[in-house]
Amino acid sequence: MNFIRSFLNTSKRSHKYLLFLQKPISRFFSDQPSDFEVQRETPKCLITETIPLALYGGRHTVTMLPGTGIGPEVSKHVRHVFREMGAPVDFEVIHIDPNASSEDDLQYALMSVKRNGVGIKGDIGGKSLSTLTTHSNVILRNELDLYVYVIWCRSYPNVPAKHKDVDIVVVRQNTEGEYSMLEHSVGGSKVVETLKIVRRDSSVKLATYAFEYAKKHNRKKVTTIHKANIMKLSDGLFLSVSKQIAKQYPEIEHNDLIIDNFCMQVVTNPKQFDVLLTTNLYGSIAANVICGITGGPGLTSGINYGLYYAIFEPGTRASGVTIAGKNMANPVAMLNASVDMLYHLGHTAYAKRLEYAIYKTICEDKIHTPDLKGSATTVDVVNKILEYIYLESIIKVVFLLIKIFMIHILKSFFFSHWDTKIFRMCE
């Protein structure tokens, strides 16, 4: 009873929760189509064969790629939570061996994402140093043209962190830069060259996305991260495009910082930043630094967006090999990725339920795994989240029964009252 009483007494706590979310409330009540529906209506830019959308009876089929390290463990918990919550999502689980000699599993995964339109994944690691081997994560992003990576880095109340009240969104280029993996050696192994690819049209598309994101989510400032003082052509082009696009959004403040200066400033005064617009490598560095000062890699989720597909994952792409299978992994990052996925699919009610349960568990009940200086296990965190989901379901059933009972009472009163009046009129 004490647990139920504390859950019901949430007027003050719910206010804190809504302030923490800092998302436009209109998104919860809007009649606008979901991001998933918008993507399906967008003309496809890639010249590949279109695979039919998998959507049956109001349910979505999502490709799940557990990956390596803690990926299979936390992916299993995501499926369990969705099953207990009754979310209308079915997972097509595909295991990819990053060290396999063939790419059959990877090609099947690509076909699955193209068929379903949405995927959720752990880190698909790979230790091969062969120049003939391309990283599976890079192949997924390039083949599906997932050109932008969005990671919302924020600090959580009552979670140990270097800084409090941090709220930064990193909008990162996802398919070019140093991650183009175009390298070659000159004169044997004496000189090695790496090509850094920066295209104007890609930079325009990314910068436009960042400013549109800031406009949609009521963000006030966009900061472009670069190294144009040294890489005057590549980063110079990226910075030039950012400044051109910024002129189209006079209501949003724009400035730029060199990557090394940014790293120094973000660890000393992170509150000065709002939205970061950055190239591929700098975005990876920036996101990991920010996650490091807000609680670590176990909390933050990231989204790979393209014009046609979306893949959700833990934000820092940390595989956690050393703690795999030890019931020590923090499942929150993967669960937050699943929350993002539910919002994307338009299942807002389920997303809010899971998001609220996560918040209550880690922020108010302080059920923290060792990475957050706690002693809870992975299962402890998941079970506590499920308690809130179960309790909310029970409360909804109780209120529904009360509503039915009140309607019955009112109907009985209404009809008995008018029956008496009609009887008297007949007399």
Model confidence at 11, pLDDT cuts 50, 70, 90, reads very low
Are 67 and 124 spatial neighbours (Cβ–Cβ below 8 Å)? yes
Tens digits of residue pLDDT in 278-310: 999 999 999 999 999 998 888 999 999 998 899
SS3 169: strand
Mean pLDDT of the chain: 83
- The C-alpha atoms of residue 82 and residue 91 are separated, in whole angstroms, by 10
Q: How many CB atoms lie within 10 A of CB 342?
A: 27
**For position 16, what pLDDT does the model report?**
47
Tens of pLDDT, residue by residue over 45-60, are 333 444 445 566 778 9
HSE of 64, CA atoms in CB hemisphere, 13 A: 23
Q: Which domains does the chain have, with CATH numbers?
A: 31-149+297-388 (3.40.718.10), 176-293 (3.40.50.2300)
Task: Tell me the mean pLDDT in the region 80-104.
Answer: 88
Given this model, what pLDDT does residue 424 score? 52
Three-state DSSP class for residue 82? helix
Instruction: Look at residue 131 and tell me whether its pLDDT is greater than 50.
Output: no
Pairing of strands 59-65, 118-121: parallel
Q: Give phi and psi for 272, each to the nearest 5.
A: -75, -10
Does pTM surpass 0.85?
no
Is the model more confident about 47 or about 183? Answer: 183
Query: How far is C-alpha 426 from the geometric centre of its chain's CA atoms?
Result: 68
CA 311 to chain CA centroid, nearest Å: 9
Mean pLDDT of 235-253: 96
Whether 210 has a pLDDT exceeding 50, the answer reads yes
Percent of the chain's residues with pLDDT above 90 = 57
pLDDT band of 404, cuts 50, 70, 90: confident
| Burial of 324: CB neighbours in 10 Å, binned 0-12, 13-18, 19+ | middle
pLDDT at 9 over 70: no
Query: For residue 8, is pLDDT > 50?
Result: no
The amino acid sitting at 15 is H
Higher pLDDT, residue 82 or 34: 82
Long-range CB contact pairs, 11-17, < 8 A, 24+:
13/360, 13/364, 16/157, 17/356, 17/359
User: Does residue 226 surpass a pLDDT of 60?
Assistant: yes
Query: How many percent of the chain have pLDDT more than 70?
Result: 81
Q: For residue range 332-362, what is the model confidence (pLDDT) as tens digits? A: 999 999 999 999 998 999 999 999 999 999 9
Determine the pLDDT at residue 416: 61
Beta strand spans in 217-260 (E): 221-226, 253-258
